[in-house]
Structure formats: structure tokens, C-alpha cells
Amino acid sequence: MAVSLLSQRFVISAKLSSNLTSNYKLLITMAPIFDFPIKVGRIDDVQELKKAQKTKIPYRFVRDVAERPKLAPTHLPLSTSIPIIDLSKLMKGNKEDFHFEILKLSASCEEWGFFQVINHGIDLDLLEKIEKVAMEFFMLPVEEKQKYPMAPGTVQGYGQAFVFSEDQKLDWCNMFALGLVPHSIRNPKLWPTNPPTFSDTVETYSREIRKLCKDLLRFIALSLGLRENVFEEMFGVSVQAMRMNYYPACPRPDLVLGLSPHSDGSALTVLQQGKGSTVGLQILKNNTWVPIQPVRNALVINIGDTIEVLTNGRYKSSEHRAVTHKEKDRLSIVTFYAPSYEIEIGPMPEMVDEKNPSKYRRYNHGEYSRHYVTNKLQGKKTLDFAKIPPKNSF
């Protein structure tokens, strides 16, 4: 199976291909790859905690003081909001509009690593539909949802991902995640039969989001002065996965995090916020957590670690997290789009010169994915995997 996925365009060194067996065990079957049993302790289902209406937050959810979110103002001046890109201007705008939008895109990726995209061409009914089935799923009785359990050490199914030890703090969030493309990463046992339209809606949605990712990557390439198909050609059959995050309201949003700080291991991430959603997503900019204001019908896009490496750090994979709200729940539907596991990643030659020496080494992307999903979320630390220490550093 692994062989059929190998694209002839990519030469894999013997050392890397020997790692593929374990990569595939994890990434294709999503079976745990730990040689030892991992003990994650009791992981409470957050919706069930909420239902029990206990006023005290269980200890495992209470963050150390330094990690607790300072409840930032929810409305900031526009200058501190992430840029909004009008995709219609890139797809079919006149020359002037196109040029302006490309410049905005490049500034967003350099300064923020995030932007919101409007006029993305995805049917708004479809966005509504995916949100509806996601909410219907989360509202099912817990016993029903637990028919699709996320086994410790894996990243698909219902539960909490990235928990590896008993003393690790937990996020105030219930997750449901699925691998989508290539088909070999799917685990059919984890696809819910209820709500009945769930699977069809996910299929249609993921096809549309895939197209969007391809378009965005073309424009990202152009914004870097590269050939528009450079990423598409490099990536092979891109890996696509989806995670639905449901953040119940929390009586003490000042003590917990909805999702721990992290950067995404993908090339690009597309995040849909539930309609009328409260502010929950925050990104770290100049040491300040900046809330992302939901924009009606927009999708939030962020640069993942892969594009940061390929552009030698010019485009940033920003650290981000989610916080909770005292009265309101929040839903996000997140798509991760990444290169095929076989390909080798490293700064592109066009992004490296004397002034900008390589900041990252070359590595196999499957190896990075494996590293990513076998470590807890901890800011940008995961990318240390690829970093070349600057000269003169100890």
C-alpha cells in the first residue's frame, strides 16, 4: 500500500524509507505507535462535566497561573485585526485589484501567518450544513459519540487529541477528527452513521475545501514570486484531515484553555467558525494574544509549519490557541492540508541566500507528521524538530 502512494517524482533516501513503516502504522491506520502503554489517566468529557453543573473546575483543566488566559478585550481597533483577503479579486479581479490583493496576501502571511478569506466561492449553504451536522453530532448522547473513540495516542475519532500522560493538563474542548485524503488514512469505523447526512456532508465539504486550498496555494506561490503550481507539484497527493472542535461554555474561562497554544503541522489550515460564534481563537503576535474577530461567511486561513519551512521562515506559522466563554459555547471546523507523507521538505532554494541562510534542515514530511502527533501541543516547540541552531548559539 505504501508503495502505491509513492510518487516517482520524489526520491526517498534509504534512511527515510525505513521510517515509513512506522509512519504508515500511525498515519494510515491511526493505530498507536508507542512501544509502551501510554497512561493518559481519566479524561472527562467536557460536555458531561458541563451537564453535571459542578461549579468547581476539575484540577486537570485548571492551568498553571502563567498559562491562564487574561481575558482580553473582545473588540480591538481594526489595525490589530488579521487582514481580510477577497478571493474573488484574485480569481477574477482586474489587474489592479489582483495586484493589490496579492500584496495584501503576502503581507498577511509575513506579519501574521493568518488571514480571513471572503468571497471564497464555497456555497454558504454547505458551510451551514457542515456546521449543522457537526452540532448534531456533538449533541448526541455521550454513549453514542463514544462509539467512535479516539484511542490514546491517536488523532482520529471522538475525544481529546495530544494527551500523553496522566499529569498533562486538559483542554476545555470535545473533539471529533477524521482523516480524509488519501483514502488509505481513513478509518471507516470512525465515521458516524448518525446524523445520517454526516458522511455525505463531510465528503462534499472536504472536496470544496480542497479546491480552496489548492487555489490559495497558487496565490501564495505567486505572492512569493514563484511559479503558481510549485506547491501542487511538490506536494504529491496532499493529505487532508478534519477536526471539529466543540468548546462548551465554561463557568471559569479565566482558569482554562479551550485549546493549548500550538502551531499547525500542516501547510495550510482552513478554519470555519460557527455562525454567530463568540471570539475564541487567539494568535500570538509580539507577545500579545490577539483575538480573531469572526467575520460573517469568512473562513480563517493560517500558514502551517510546512510553509514556514519551505519559505525559510518568510511566511509564519503563528502560535495560536482557543479560549472559552462563560455563557456561550463555540464550534470550529478545521481542515488541515499538508503534503503527502513521502515528500522531503526543506527551505526552497529561492528562499535561501547569503542574507537568509537556511534556518531549517531537510526532512521527510511523514516523519514530521509523526513527530507532531506524538507530542503534546506546546506552542512552536514542535518545529524545533526542523530548526538549524543559528551559528554562534550554544
Cβ burial 339-362 (10 Å sphere, 16+ → b, else e): bbbbbbbbbbeebbeeeeeebbee
The listed partner (Ni ion, ligand OGA, none) that binds 359, CB under 5 to 8 Å by sort, is none
The listed partner (Ni ion, ligand OGA, none) that binds 281, CB under 5 to 8 Å by sort, is ligand OGA
The listed partner (Ni ion, ligand OGA, none) that binds 280, CB under 5 to 8 Å by sort, is ligand OGA
The listed partner (Ni ion, ligand OGA, none) that binds 243, CB under 5 to 8 Å by sort, is ligand OGA
Q: Is the dihedral of CA 85, 379, 267, 237 positive or negative?
A: negative
How far apart, in whole angstroms, are the C-alpha atoms of residue 196 and residue 148? 15
For position 264 contacting Ni ion by CB under 5 A, the verdict is yes
| Site track for ligand OGA across 13-52, x = CB under 6 A | ----------------------------------------
> Which residue from 243, 285, 359, 365 is in contact with ligand OGA, where contact means CB under 6 A?
243
| Site track for ligand OGA across 315-334, x = CB under 6 A | -----x-x---------x-x
Query: In which residue are the cell numbers 503550481 written?
Result: 229
Specify the residue, 325 or 359, whose C-beta has the smaller distance to ligand OGA.
Answer: 325
CB of 299 vs ligand OGA, minimal distance in Å: 12
Q: Where are the beta strands (DSSP E) in 147-187?
A: 157-159, 174-181
For position 305 contacting Ni ion by CB under 5 A, the verdict is no
For position 242 contacting ligand OGA by CB under 6 A, the verdict is no
Specify the residue, 223 or 269, whose C-beta has the smaller distance to ligand OGA.
Answer: 269
Per DSSP, 149 falls in state B
* Grid cell for residue 152: 490514546
Helices (H), 190-271: 198-223, 230-235
CB of 320 vs Ni ion, minimal distance in Å: 6
Helices and strands in the chain: count of H runs, count of E runs: 11, 14
Cβ burial 94-110 (10 Å sphere, 16+ → b, else e): eeeebeebbebbbebbb
Specify the residue, 24 or 172, whose C-beta has the smaller distance to ligand OGA.
Answer: 172
Cα 378 to Cα 63, 134, 155: the distances in Å are 13, 27, 16
For position 382 contacting ligand OGA by CB under 6 A, the verdict is no
How far apart, in whole angstroms, are the C-alpha atoms of residue 313 and residue 368? 17
For position 263 contacting ligand OGA by CB under 6 A, the verdict is no
Which residues in this chain contact ligand OGA in the complex, by CB under 6 A?
Answer: 243, 245, 259, 264, 280-281, 320, 322, 332, 334
